[in-house]
């Protein structure tokens, strides 16, 4: 009844989205703040003013959205939590994040969430002929796509301090003449490599293989690799609206890369579904990019709540891995991850527990609003 390919499918299990009870959701790294009021106005206004657009095919190339994304990256430097906002609401990059060239729309490809974008990146650049280098613990969708496209993986264990084993990853990529993918900051650890460390990796990795850095969380305190596009044409940076741009429900993600690699990904898209982003999502995405100041404010709040919540847990004997993201990865001696997850859930709060060997004692807790974290603190104190 089914094709042989079905044997290679091992679907991703997303964080629970329960419908039975109103939980405080700290399990899927969504942003706790609503989108900018300008997004809401733009979406409602566009649908009212142009209802016929719901009946017409959208712009297949998302041209205006690509221009808006490029503009936002140029204005912010690509790391929201460090960008400056003056009294008039003008945004400028922090000195360390300044991009030494102009990001142009032909360097952007956008799709329905970075998960879809990643799938096209896997299809375009990685094949069944050699192993793709990934960290053992990283975004758990990569192995799912590897199964889907029958790409063998070389899963490199993390070091004992949970950082990437950069030497071994580069050694393997060189020995196998293969591509590399990881998230920076990494998930679920929250640890980031510096831009200098990534530059050093790409310098030593095979030049004619694609090197992918997934920057889903970089707006909360990492260093973006976008400036490195001036030096490397085999670099693909993957970004999403789901975390720092308060837009997980809109399904928008994009890559920033050389126009040549963007064209390959576009060819994959046009061979499968050439109208990927609907009119409403394009409208929402453009409005979000035009109000970067709002999202800078959200990212700064997340970082400040993350730091106070981390301090709270450390004072109570938890090991908290230093996070540059909108989540913390924590464990406590003598405490079982799964039991704590269940006890917290009974108190109306969802966090994420992975039963993956090696990290089964950890909890991954999304940083919510200050009020949500107060509820979690009292739940954790009463367990």
Residues that bind ligand PLP (CB under 6 A): 29, 113-115, 139, 183, 187, 214, 216, 240, 242, 248, 253
Question: What's the closest the beta carbon of residue 333 comes to ligand PLP, in angstroms?
Answer: 28
Question: What's the closest the beta carbon of residue 217 comes to ligand PLP, in angstroms?
Answer: 6
Q: Which is nearer to ligand PLP, 36 or 206 (CB)?
A: 36
User: Strand 253-256 to strand 108-111: parallel, antiparallel, or no bridges (unpaired)?
Assistant: antiparallel
Q: Which is nearer to ligand PLP, 244 or 340 (CB)?
A: 244
Look at phi and psi of residue 251 and say left if phi exceeds 0, alpha if psi is from -120 to 50, else beta. left
Q: Which is nearer to ligand PLP, 135 or 253 (CB)?
A: 253
> What's the alpha-carbon Rg for the chain, to the nearest Å?
21
How close are the terminal C-alpha atoms of the chain, in Å? Answer: 49
- With b for 16 or more beta-carbon neighbours within 10 A and e for fewer, the 335-363 pattern comes to eebeebbebbbeeebbbbbbeeeebebbb
Measured from each CB, the residue nearest to ligand PLP is 113
**How does DSSP assign 179-231, residue by residue?**
-EEEESS-TTT-----HHHHHHHHHHS-TTS-EEEE-TTGGGT---SGGGGGT
Quote the tokens at residue 355. Answer: 């039963």
SS3 132: strand
How far is it, in rounded angstroms, from Cα 332 to Cα 164? 22
Question: How long a stretch of residues is the chain?
Answer: 383
Q: Which is nearer to ligand PLP, 145 or 264 (CB)?
A: 145
Question: What's the closest the beta carbon of residue 325 comes to ligand PLP, in angstroms?
Answer: 8
Question: What's the closest the beta carbon of residue 270 comes to ligand PLP, in angstroms?
Answer: 20
Q: Which is nearer to ligand PLP, 58 or 247 (CB)?
A: 247
SS3 327: strand
Q: Which is nearer to ligand PLP, 206 or 221 (CB)?
A: 221
Question: What's the closest the beta carbon of residue 105 comes to ligand PLP, in angstroms?
Answer: 19
Q: Which is nearer to ligand PLP, 145 or 309 (CB)?
A: 145
Question: What's the closest the beta carbon of residue 139 comes to ligand PLP, in angstroms?
Answer: 4
Question: What's the closest the beta carbon of residue 172 comes to ligand PLP, in angstroms?
Answer: 21
> In this structure, is the dihedral angle defined by the CA atoms of residues 326, 332, 337 and 341, taken in order, positive or negative?
negative
Q: Are the CB atoms for 203 and 80 separated by under 8 Å?
A: no
Q: Which is nearer to ligand PLP, 45 or 322 (CB)?
A: 322
Q: What are phi and psi of 268, to 5 degrees?
A: -60, -50
Question: What's the closest the beta carbon of residue 331 comes to ligand PLP, in angstroms?
Answer: 20
Question: What's the closest the beta carbon of residue 238 comes to ligand PLP, in angstroms?
Answer: 7
Q: Are the CB atoms for 111 and 66 separated by under 8 Å?
A: no
Look at phi and psi of residue 164 and say left if phi exceeds 0, alpha if psi is from -120 to 50, else beta. beta
Q: What are phi and psi of 287, to 5 degrees?
A: -65, -40
Q: Which is nearer to ligand PLP, 367 or 380 (CB)?
A: 367
């Amino acid at each position: 009844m089914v094709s042989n390919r079905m044997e290679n499918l091992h679907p991703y299990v997303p964080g629970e989205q329960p419908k039975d009870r109103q939980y405080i959701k700290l399990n899927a790294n969504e942003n706790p703040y609503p989108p900018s009021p300008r997004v809401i106005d733009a979406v409602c206004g566009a649908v009212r003013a142009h209802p016929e657009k719901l009946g017409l095919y959208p712009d297949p190339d998302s041209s205006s959205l690509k221009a808006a994304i490029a503009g936002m990256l140029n204005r912010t430097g690509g790391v929201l939590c460090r960008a400056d906002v003056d009294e008039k609401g003008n945004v400028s990059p922090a000195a360390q994040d300044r991009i030494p060239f102009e990001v142009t729309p032909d360097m952007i490809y956008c799709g329905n969430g970075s998960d879809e974008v990643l799938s096209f990146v896997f299809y375009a650049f990685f094949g069944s002929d050699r192993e793709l280098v990934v960290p053992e613990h990283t975004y758990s969708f990569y192995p799912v796509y590897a199964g889907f496209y029958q790409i063998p993986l070389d899963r490199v264990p993390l070091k004992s301090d949970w950082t990437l084993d950069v030497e071994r990853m580069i050694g393997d990529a060189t020995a196998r003449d293969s591509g590399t993918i990881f998230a920076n900051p990494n998930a679920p650890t929250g640890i980031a490599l510096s831009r200098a460390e990534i530059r050093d990796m790409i310098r030593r990795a095979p030049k004619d293989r694609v090197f992918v850095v997934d920057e889903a969380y970089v707006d909360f305190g990492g260093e973006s690799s976008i400036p490195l596009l001036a030096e490397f044409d085999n670099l693909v940076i993957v970004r999403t609206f789901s975390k720092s741009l308060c837009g997980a429900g809109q399904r928008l993600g994009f890559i920033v890369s050389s126009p040549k690699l963007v064209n390959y990904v576009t060819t994959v898209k046009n061979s499968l579904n050439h109208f990927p982003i609907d009119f409403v999502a394009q409208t929402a995405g453009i409005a979000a990019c035009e109000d970067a100041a709002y999202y800078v404010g959200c990212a700064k709040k997340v970082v400040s709540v993350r730091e106070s919540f981390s301090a709270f847990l450390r004072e109570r004997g938890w090991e908290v891995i230093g996070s540059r993201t909108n989540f913390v990865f924590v464990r406590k001696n003598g405490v079982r991850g799964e039991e704590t997850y269940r006890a917290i859930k009974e108190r109306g709060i969802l966090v994420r527990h992975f039963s993956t060997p090696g990290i089964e004692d950890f909890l991954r807790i999304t940083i919510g609003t200050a009020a949500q974290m107060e509820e979690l603190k009292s739940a954790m104190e009463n367990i």
